[in-house]
Amino acid sequence: MNKKENILKVALELFASQGFDNTSTSLIAKKAEVSEGLIFRHFANKEGLLNEILEEGLIKIKPFIDLILAEKHPEKIIYLTLELPYKIISEQKEFWKLLMNLRQQNEKFRKDLNDNSFFEPLNNKINNAFKDLKFSKPKMEAETFFITLTGFGLYLIDNGDKENAYKLIKNIQLKFSK
Amino acid sequence: MNKKENILKVALELFASQGFDNTSTSLIAKKAEVSEGLIFRHFANKEGLLNEILEEGLIKIKPFIDLILAEKHPEKIIYLTLELPYKIISEQKEFWKLLMNLRQQNEKFRKDLNDNSFFEPLNNKINNAFKDLKFSKPKMEAETFFITLTGFGLYLIDNGDKENAYKLIKNIQLKFSK
DNA sequence: GTCTATATCAGGATAGAC
DNA sequence: GTCTATCCTGATATAGAC
């Protein structure tokens, strides 16, 4: 692994576990076993480093989302979306943590993520799924669903038990089926 | 309002909106129109200031929780608990934001809050409520409930619409009734 | 690409006067 | 109780050499 990649990797770990603001570039350098100056050669600044981490991570997530977007059956859409946080966290626990941290901590970031519309297509897909399922108030049902999904995403950060996670998914799914 | 109270008030606002780490004591002093040194006369350090804010806030929340703990009917317990974030956010929006921020950002804090057992009695109460309702897996149902509750708590931070909040509460409640 | 050295600045915190 | 002045540290970032 080259040094730039190593910086990205270490920074992701630290940002996820300690938060972005709380992580100094000097610590990143130390753990990545590079000089602190090198960080600023490869990235414009600390925020630039964060942005590159985010881009990389989102790219890795995209296939999972595309899978959902390609699905036709509403029940399956609901299920796959519920499964999404679990799948992401299995493959990219650190990144998921970072994402949830930033989402929460930083209003601007949350808006960017919405405006950037990375998750917007998924949002529409879910809305339509609940319409197809003939819920009397599909929009509210989707809202409730995303509330639960957010809670589940947070839950997973602290609770790694795979079996239990899938039981929860089943249980939640039941509540959003007809 | 005396200066100490003003520091507490301003600090709460800033901690809630910008996060604890991101808020400098100098800014607090400026907005509270006191000298920076005064902060460290009244509080041991920045963290001491945070702790006093938390204590005050939790004291104000306690009556709401006691109300739930005194309730006998399981359905009512569920409903009141769902209503809890809404009630708190109505009266103490800043404090609620701060609480959710810290919960997320800081693992130690989250554990403290659990160990300190401020919310522990409520936890038990909910577990028993689902037992009383004869759910086949009351513990998992309670887990799912808290997941949803967390998501709802986060939702409220960004969405002030009272009517919609109550519609959501109803909708969620339905999903946890028998 | 990478390191060392260094500039600059802001944050938390203290001392001492009033 | 309150303010002013100040210290110290650590964080981001740059410069220049290899």
Say if pTM beats, i.e. exceeds, 0.85. yes
* Cβ contact B168–A144 (<8 Å): yes
pLDDT digits (tens, 9 = 90+) for B153-170: 999 998 889 999 999 999
Q: What is the pLDDT confidence band of residue B76, given thresholds at 50, 70 and 90?
A: very high
The residue ranking higher by pLDDT, B87 or A109, is: B87
**Residue A108 confidence (pLDDT) above 90:** no
A124, amino acid identity: N
| Percent of all residues in chain B with a pLDDT value above 70, rounded to a whole number | 100
Tokens at A73, concatenated: 């059956």
Residue of chain A whose alpha carbon sits nearest to that of B168: A144
Phi, psi of B56 (to 5 degrees): -55, -45
pLDDT digits (tens, 9 = 90+) for A112-168: 887 778 899 999 999 999 999 999 999 999 999 999 999 999 999 988 899 999 999
Closest residue, by C-alpha, to the C1' of D15: A37
pLDDT at B99: 93
- Tell me the average pLDDT across B112-122: 85
**CA of A24, C1' of C4: distance in angstroms:** 19
Give the torsion sign (CA, B156, B158, B163, B169): negative
Closest residue, by C-alpha, to the C1' of D2: B38
A30 Cβ within 7 A of any nucleic strand C atom? no
Rg (CA), chain A: 18
Q: Are A79 and A131 in contact (CB under 8 A)?
A: no
Tokens at B61, concatenated: 């929340």
Q: Are A90 and A30 in contact (CB under 8 A)?
A: no
Q: How far apart are CA A170 and CA A177, in angstroms?
A: 11
Q: What is the pLDDT confidence band of residue B105, given thresholds at 50, 70 and 90?
A: confident
Rg (CA), chain B: 18
- Tell me the average pLDDT across B25-47: 98
Q: Are B152 and A151 in contact (CB under 8 A)?
A: yes
Q: What is the nearest nucleotide to B36, using C1' and CA?
A: D3
pLDDT digits (tens, 9 = 90+) for B139-154: 999 999 999 999 999 9
For A19, the closest of B105, B143, B149 (CB atoms) is: B105
**CA of A38, C1' of C4: distance in angstroms:** 11
Q: How far apart are CA A30 and CA A28, in angstroms?
A: 5
* Cβ contact A148–B149 (<8 Å): no
Residue A137 backbone class (left: φ over 0; alpha: ψ -120 to 50; beta: rest): beta
DSSP conformation class of B147 = H
Closest residue, by C-alpha, to the C1' of C14: B37
**Residue B122 confidence (pLDDT) above 80:** yes
Chain A: which residues have CB within 8 Å of chain B?
19, 21-22, 100-101, 104-105, 110, 137, 140-141, 143-144, 146-152, 154-155, 158, 167-168, 171-172, 175-176
**Residue A56 confidence (pLDDT) above 80:** yes
Strand C positions with any atom < 7 Å from protein CB?
A: 1-6, 10-16
